[in-house]
């Protein structure tokens, strides 16, 4: 019995990467209040996720300089350890780690299947500089005509 429960638990919590479906994500982001948040349409939010993580909640990206990882980005929204979460590594010696962990989370919280905390954090990230901090958004979504981006979703 215990083994079955553990196996079930692993399936439910998602031992395999969990990939969101585009329209499913659009609905969830709308319910979470991201539509129009800081002036960005729902299409911009979904486009950002598409080009940052390909809808993969387990995505981890590394930023490297001179062969060394300088910071890492976590989850659907690729939230950066540079300032927003604690991965036990990025924050330099001498700096107060928590003062830079502005979402007050460990970075691994952003690669589980519950994205409620990711969304709360991303609302903080986007406040100062808008979506310009996301390279994928800048390259593939900014100044694009996103009128039809969610047209198949019947939102
Ligand atoms: C964006 O695309 C839609 C549908 O193709 C079109 O009706 C609209 O005029 C376009 N907007 C701009 C600003 O180009
Ligand atoms: Ca999470």
How much is the average pLDDT of 17-42? 95
| CA 98 to centroid of ligand 1, rounded, Å | 45
Question: Atom 10 in ligand 1: which residue has the minimum CA distance?
Answer: 145
Residue of 3 and 137 predicted with greater confidence = 137
> pLDDT per residue over 97-107, tens digit each?
445 899 999 99
Of 147, 151, 152, best ligand 1 pocket probe by most atoms within 8 Å of the beta carbon: 147
pLDDT for the residue numbered 113 = 86
Average per-residue pLDDT for the chain: 87
Express each pLDDT in 45-75 by its tens digit: 999 999 999 999 999 999 998 988 889 999 9
Residue ranges of domains in the chain, CATH in brackets: 2-153 (1.10.530.10)
CA of 152 to the centre of ligand 1 (A): 16
pLDDT at 5 over 80: no
Nearest residue CA, atom 8 of ligand 1? Answer: 147
Read off the pLDDT of each residue in 108-125 and give the average, rounded to a whole number.
96
Atom 6 of ligand 1, residue of closest alpha carbon: 147
Residues with a CB atom less than 6 Å from ligand 1: 145, 147-148
Q: Residue range 102-124: average pLDDT?
A: 96
CA distance 87 to 62: 12
Atom of ligand 1 nearest to the CA of 148: 4
pLDDT exceeds 80 at position 14: no
Closest approach atom of ligand 1 to CA 145? 1
Q: How far is it, in rounded angstroms, from Cα 92 to Cα 97?
A: 8
For residue 143, name the pLDDT band (cuts at 50, 70, 90): very high
pLDDT at 3 over 60: no
**pLDDT of res. 12:** 52
Measured distance CA(21)–CA(54) in Å, rounded? 10
pLDDT score of 90: 59
Stretch among 42-51, 87-96, 143-152 having the lowest mean pLDDT = 87-96
**Angle of helix 22-31 relative to helix 42-53, nearest 10 degrees?**
130
Distance CA 98, CA 86 (A): 8
């Amino acid at each position: 019995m215990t083994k079955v429960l553990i196996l079930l638990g692993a399936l439910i919590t998602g031992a395999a990467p969990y990939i969101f479906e585009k329209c499913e994500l659009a609905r969830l982001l709308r319910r979470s209040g991201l539509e129009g948040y800081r002036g960005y349409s729902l299409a911009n939010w979904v486009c950002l996720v598409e080009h940052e993580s390909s809808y993969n909640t387990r995505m981890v990206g590394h930023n490297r300089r001179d062969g060394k990882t300088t910071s890492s980005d976590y989850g659907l929204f690729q939230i950066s350890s540079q300032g927003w979460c604690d991965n036990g590594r990025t924050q330099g010696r001498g700096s107060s780690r928590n003062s830079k962990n502005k979402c007050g989370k460990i970075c691994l919280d952003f690669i589980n299947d519950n994205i409620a905390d990711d969304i709360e954090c991303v609302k903080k990230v986007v406040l100062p500089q808008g979506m310009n901090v996301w390279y994928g958004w800048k390259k593939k979504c900014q100044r694009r005509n996103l009128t039809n981006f969610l047209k198949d979703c019947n939102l």
